[in-house]
Chain A
């Protein structure tokens, strides 16, 4: 079932160009100059119920603009969006009951209140009866292990605990879709892992569809089965994580420790990444030469130790960014 449908979505911004200095300021008052920025340009995609989607792209690619149009914050110039059959531009309130949002570190919580009271406040925002909220909070307390800090004022919580509370607060009304914009930015690895666990758990327990933007490859790799990449306002790639990893770039990294030196210069399909005498690191293009063939070139008897791995996702992604610019 398609839960999100985005068709030919476009949005432009008119940006005032301001020159520097007093003269520039006066000039821009009398004769303002504008520049049209195509923030989002003819973007289409759809999402099924229960998916975890990574929506990625470099800074300024149009990720936030797209998410904001999907959550009623911005009005699209062209194209249409259907979220659970609703149009965000027209059915803002109805849609708000169905979706949850966590936008980076924008504070939605009252810092002088405890998470418990904050959750109750969010319950009121979504018209949930008192009893039901209390039950829900209890459920979350157990499921997401909030015991340690649920009764501590938010201002005394660590950044990680705060983000966890932000996410949990946005789940109080059991949204069908959760939009997460950079949920793990600026957090330490342990907290990142906790948040990923939390996200996975709610996807599993509540079948929540998750629409995630992140610059953190770990988030994408560990959570998402599907990736949508956007750059300069345009859709660049929409594929499963597996395809992205194994087919989009047919390259393997072979690291080998050798008894004797081998000369692989000028061999088709092999790029030497590192050659430190007996330690060799090469990249094999499997469309041109199989990995087995590459190992044969090295001579199996000559190999002390070998490690064959995929190209790191990070490199793949930055490669895609670069190629499509």
Chain B
């Protein structure tokens, strides 16, 4: 079992390394992709500078907390897109019958697929998130928590994406549902939860778990709370398991490229 995990990690590490090597073939594009993503995200901070020039407090967040929220948002997004890029294109992979190559390998299919490509600009997101985190107030303890949370958050975002994309095994147009789900996750992650009320707020902590992956970490980093910390970890593990169960039960319905050729 332990050996299996070790071997799996080795393959994923190699695959990641080779992807980076491939992207580095064109250094100028690589660097400009990273730098422009940092710049791109920095632009978005302008919105908050403007808002905080009107009020000291938006949705119960101070300006530093909004910076922290942004650091988490781009960190979570960056981790998910850097390491698990293909999970965001999983329905395409399923619909076009591209899973074959992974099924015949003696490795975890889901993991092999979603780690088979990287998003270079996501490196920019991760760097941006670390810079903004430092601006929001650096201490070792905060930083350790921050790193844990962008990893669990990245895993939560990836799991949700895998679940939605796996619906492609059952429905033809599931990729559209998945796109909506992704934009919900990313859009809400950059606004303080205090501005939402009622049903929206309930949804943000259940069906659209941005609350768990992004809002809870802001609270825990600001003021440590063991219960909230545990909730974040538990939900993360739960979603990973759920995404595996859904993916593998859908896999039984996988039709490779046969459906395409029989289109009338």
Contact = CB atoms under 8 A, between A and B. Distances in A.
Contacts of B18: 110, 112-113, 117, 121
Contacts, number: 82
Contacts of B105: 96, 125-126
A31 to B, nearest CB: 15
Interface in A1-52: 13, 15-18, 35, 37, 39
Interface in B72-109: 99-101, 103-107
B47 interface: no
A92 interface: yes
Interface residues of A, number: 36
Contact of B100 (A16, A103, A110, A127): A103
Interface range on chain B (Cβ under 8 Å from partner) = 20 to 34
A37 B103 contact: no
A134 to B, nearest CB: 15
Nearest to A122: B105
B177 interface: no
Contacts of B25: 112
Given A16-B172, A18-B264, A96-B104, A68 B10 contact: no
A295 interface: no
B55 interface: no
Interface in B215-259: 252-259
B262 A74 contact: no
Nearest to A110: B18
A93 interface: yes
A312 interface: no
A106 B261 CA distance: 16
B7 interface: yes
Interface in B8-26: 10-11, 14-15, 18, 21-22, 25
A71 B259 CA distance: 18
Given A73-B100, A101-B104, A121 B14 contact: yes
Contacts of B107: 93, 125
A112 B22 contact: yes
B263 interface: yes
Given A73-B99, A73-B104, A74-B254, A124 B14 contact: yes
A124 B106 contact: no
A301 B43 CA distance: 98
A37 B106 contact: no
A17 B264 contact: yes
Contacts of B255: 13, 74
A60 B172 CA distance: 22
A75 interface: yes
A72 interface: yes
A229 interface: no
Interface string A45-76: 00000000000000010001100100111110
A81 interface: no
A108 interface: yes
Given A15-B264, A37-B262, A96-B106, A112 B256 contact: no
A72 B104 contact: yes
A167 interface: no
Nearest to A128: B7
Contact of B103 (A71, A108, A124): A71
Interface of A: 13, 15-18, 35, 37, 39, 60, 64-65, 68, 71-75, 92-94, 96-97, 99, 101, 103, 106, 108, 110, 112-113, 117, 121, 124-127
Interface of B: 3, 7, 10-11, 14-15, 18, 21-22, 25, 99-101, 103-107, 172, 252-259, 261-264
